[in-house]
Every structure is written in C-alpha cells, then in structure tokens.
Chain A
Amino acid sequence: MAFLKTSLLNAFVYRGPMVVWLAANSLSLVTAVAIWFSASAGERIGGYTKPELITYYVAALSLQWLTGWFPFYSVCDEIKHGEIVSRLVKPISYFWQKFAEELGWHLVSSLLGLATTFLFAFFLRDFIVLNFSLTRILLLVPTIILAILVVFSFSLCMGLLSFWFLEVGTVDNLFWIARLILGGQGIPISFIPEAFQIVVKILPFRYMFSFPLEIYFGRLSAMEIIQGVSLQFFWVAILAQLYKLMWNRGRRAYTAFGQ
C-alpha cells in the first residue's frame, strides 16, 4: 500500500510528462487516421473497413495507456545505481513492489488516456464502430488484465538483465520493434502475411496489445478466444518463472558500490 500511495503521489507530481506523452500519442493517432483516410484501397484493408481501422487506432490510444506497464528503465536505474539494495531488505517481493508502483501511475494516467480517447472518439464519431456487448465486455476486462501482466512481467525481466549487462537499452529497442509489428501497435497484425501468422500467434507480443482489439472487432471465434486466453496465461506463467530465476541468480551475482 505504501508503494502504491507513493506512486499515486508521484503520478500527480509528474503530470507534466504524462501530458507530453499524451500529446505525442495523440499526434501519432492524428497521423494514423489521416493516412487511412487518404489511402486508396478496396473495401477492406487487411480485413478492416476504413471506419474499423480508424476505430482501431482510437481504441489503441486508450489500450496503450492501459497496458503500458514498463518498469524496465526504473529497474535498470535501480540496479545500476545500487538503489535496489534497499529493496532487497524489504519484506515484500520486488515483483509486487514494482507492480504497486506501476499501478499507482496507471490509475492516474489511464484516466487521462481514456479521457483523450473519448475526445477523439467524439470528433470522429461518424467513423467510430461501436462493438460493445455484455459478452465482449466480460471478455475484454480479463484479457486486458492478462495483457498488463504479460507486458509488466516481460519488461521486468528485461530490466533484470542489468544484473549482468551495463548497457541494456538495445533490448528495450528490440522489444518496441517487436511490439510495433508483432503486437499490432503500429499496424494491425492482419497485415502480416499468412506465412508468418503462426509466429505472431505463438510469441507474447500479440497478447500484450492486439488480442483484446481482435476480440473487440469480433474477429475471433470462440475457440480462438479460448486459445488466446490460454496463451496469455501461459506467457504470464513462463515470465513469472523467468523472473524468479533471473531475480535469484541476479541477487547472487550482484555487487553494489558503497551500499
């Protein structure tokens, strides 16, 4: 609770950077919408109509803020500067300490992201495709929560590489490249050729972002939804085990200066 409370207060202190990120995301959305409006194509583009594509990017804005749990840089900084030593003596798992911190930040930032999404949806209301039903909402909530867990665990494991490597920024870059293409954050994964779809469906990136959107647009059968949710659970379990392994090995290998 203390970590959550501190993180909530931090979120209000850092409201400026939040607004800057929101402005950056909004500019990206404006560009994406303009591109699809001006695209010359058939009735469907990658299986989506133009209104669906525009809705995709508007919904993606809120999903970015809901699922953007990236403790990577804070973990790297703590390990590099020795601050993690103070965390080791606390009677709470490091995983849950970072989770509580991210939760505090996202309780505030998600509201801002959702408000901005509603604003865009209002201005683009003639093109927004509303696909809400009770079943969809009941499916979306747990899949978004699982997406958060997959992203958070993945980012935490990447950050723990700092126990062994001085420079791990490149790993984060590779993560973003993968998430943009294989996760559907840059363009829908339906654009990827059929031959590569099996790779997309196995890797965790789709379950961090695209999977809830595919449910929203009703593009999945019941069996595909069950498979997708199972894979989300699978990746959460795998990444949790990987975290435990890296944390235990990392602690043994770690030496902090002057702590």
Chain B
Amino acid sequence: MRDWEFRFNVLIWAVMNFSWFGLMLASVHLVFGQVEAIAGWNRDEVLLLVLVQALFLDFLWAFILLNLSKFSRLVRRGDLDLALLKPINLRFLVSTRYFDNDHYPRMIFLFFLIPRFVGRLAVQPTIFAWLNAGLLFGLGLFIFYNLFFMITTTNFWFTNLFNLGDFCSEVIDVGRAPVYIFKNQARIIFIYFIPTAFISTFPVQALLGQIGSEMVLVGMIISLVLLIVSQAFWRFALRHYTSTGS
C-alpha cells in the first residue's frame, strides 16, 4: 500500500522494467544477427526463453526478492528482534511481508504476450502442455525461493553481505539461455543443484512438446529437498542469532 502513495515512482520503475526487457530482446536480436543457433535453439525459441525468464524474474521480484533483501537489512540493523516478538511464523513474516508493485505491469504484459508468441511458432500446445509448463514454472519459483532464502540466511553470520541480491539476479540471468549450453558436469549442476533449467528451459520445452511430466517429478523432489534443508538451516541460524540488545 505504501508504494501506491508514490504512484509516479511505481510508474517510473515499471517503465524501467520494460526498458530492461527491451534490452534483453535487443541482445537476442543482435546475437542472432551473427549466429544461427545457440545449443541447437533458434532465435524464436531463445526469444521465448527470454519472455519466460522475464516473467519468472517479475514473479521473483514482486513476491520474493524484495522480502529477502529487506530481511538482510533486518538482521544488519538488529530490527529482527521486533519481528521475533510477533505472534506469527517468522519465516512466513519475512518472506511475504512486502510486494514490489512495479513488476505487475510487465507481468500482465507477458501473460498476454507469451501465448501469442507461442502461436507464432506454429506450435499448438495442448492444455496438458500448458499445465506442465505452468507446474514447472511454479516449481522453479519454489525452488529458487528456498535456495535464495538459504543464501539470505547466511546474513546471520555475514552481516556485511548487503549485495547477495546481485548474486541472486546473476543466477536468474543464467536462465536466459538454454541449459544445454552447458556440457557434462556443468549441465548436471544447472539442472539439479542450481536448477536454472526450471526458470525457463523446461517450461519452454514443455510448451514445445519436447518434454513430458518426468521433469515435474524431478522438480518436486528438488523442491522438497530444498524446503527441508532450508528450514533446517533457518532453525539452526535462529538458534545462533544474537540480538543487538534492542
């Protein structure tokens, strides 16, 4: 609600988000002015990757990353003590308190653009394919929420790490290219350990009918493992939290 008191600010940042989106599209066009394919993916397929990755980034910033960056500040300034006193689950509170409203316009725009662009690819995804893609996309969000939450939890020990958000953004940027640019062990890392494949590669492949629901199962397992590990790490970190005496 606070954001909407500065409507012009929200509008300016929404325009900036579209500018970044324009940069991403321009980069793809410039690269494909010089190459025919990247890891076997043609220009339109990579453009679809960029659209889905942009939507992923919007969801992440709108609902998750802003909360995590504010959590860093809570720990650094000792304001976490006040949050600890509230009669609500602390993880839920720090994860869902804020929304970044300037991402909504681009999100809505992409919701309309992606289906139209898929139509342009002469592909007719079935309802099942759309559901599959949506599930993979949602699992990707859940996976990265838990992953970034674990990274942010390290602020309990490394209070100077104010720029973890920059690292998180860089990880998401990897999702702008198909995961198949990586070979061998690197591909295993980016599918199972830092699963950038779930950002855009797998959802797009589901739309294009290239994968079935087997990766949904893999995504569920990764999500469950990360949820358990991140929750255990969070509890461990809270036990070692020392207040600043506020």
- Bound complex: CA A167 to CA B7 (Å): 13
- List B contacts of A180 (CB < 8 A): 23, 27
Contact: A167 with B12, CB < 8 Å? yes
A167 CB contacts on chain B under 8 angstroms: 9, 12
Chain A residues within 8 Å of B81, by CB: none
State in angstroms the CA–CA spacing of A174 and B15 once bound together: 11
Stretch at the interface among A10-18, A98-106, A130-138, A221-229: A10-18
- Categorize the interface residue count of chain A: 35 or more
Q: In this complex, what residue of A is CB-closest to B169?
A: A24
Q: How far is the CB of B109 from chain A (nearest CB, A)?
A: 18
Report if B47 contacts A (CB, 8 A): no
**Residue among B13, B31, B33 making CB contact with A170, cutoff 8 Å:** B13
In chain A between 161 and 215, which residues have their CB closer than 8 angstroms to a CB of chain B?
167, 169-170, 173-174, 177, 180-181, 186-187, 191-193
- Complex contact B163–A41 (CB within 8 A): no
Nearest A-chain residue to B166, judged by Cβ: A24
A34 to B169, CA, bound (A): 18
In Å, the complex CA distance between A70 and B181 comes to 32
Main secondary structure of the interface of B (DSSP, over half): helix
User: How many Å from the CB of B186 to the closest CB on chain A?
Assistant: 7
A21 interface contact, C-beta 8 A: yes
**Is residue B68 contacting chain A, with contact meaning CB distance below 8 A?**
no
Q: Are B38 and A35 in contact (CB under 8 A)?
A: yes
CB distance from A140 to the nearest CB of B (A): 26
Q: How distant is B61 from chain A, measured CB to nearest CB, in Å?
A: 13
> Which A-chain residue is minimally distant from B167 (CB atoms)?
A24
Complex-state Cα separation, A39 to B34, whole angstroms? 10
Q: Is the CB of A16 within 8 A of B173?
A: no
Q: Are A34 and B181 in contact (CB under 8 A)?
A: yes
Set of chain A residues within 8 Å of B13, measured between Cβ atoms: 169-170
A41 and B43 CA atoms in complex are apart in Å by 13
| A27 adjacent to chain B (CB < 8 Å) | yes
- Whether A173 pairs with B20 at a CB distance below 8 angstroms is yes
Contact B181 A38 (CB under 8 A): yes
> How far apart are the CA atoms of A181 and B177 in the complex, in Å?
18
Is the C-beta of A1 less than 8 angstroms from some C-beta in chain B? no
| A2 beta carbon closer than 8 Å to chain B | no
Q: Are B160 and A28 in contact (CB under 8 A)?
A: no
- B166 x A20 contact (CB < 8 A): yes
A47 to chain B, nearest CB (A): 9
Residues of B within 8 A of A14 (CB): 160
Closest to B158 in A: A16
Interface flag for B236 (CB, 8 Å): no
Interface residues as binary, B163-178 with A (CB distance below 8 Å gives 1, 0 otherwise): 1101101110110010
| Given A25-B170, A35-B181, 20 other A-B residues pairs in contact with their CB atoms under 8 A | A16-B158, A21-B167, A24-B166, A34-B177, A34-B181, A34-B182, A37-B181, A38-B180, A40-B38, A170-B16, A173-B16, A174-B19, A177-B20, A177-B23, A180-B23, A181-B26, A181-B30, A187-B30, A191-B30, A191-B33
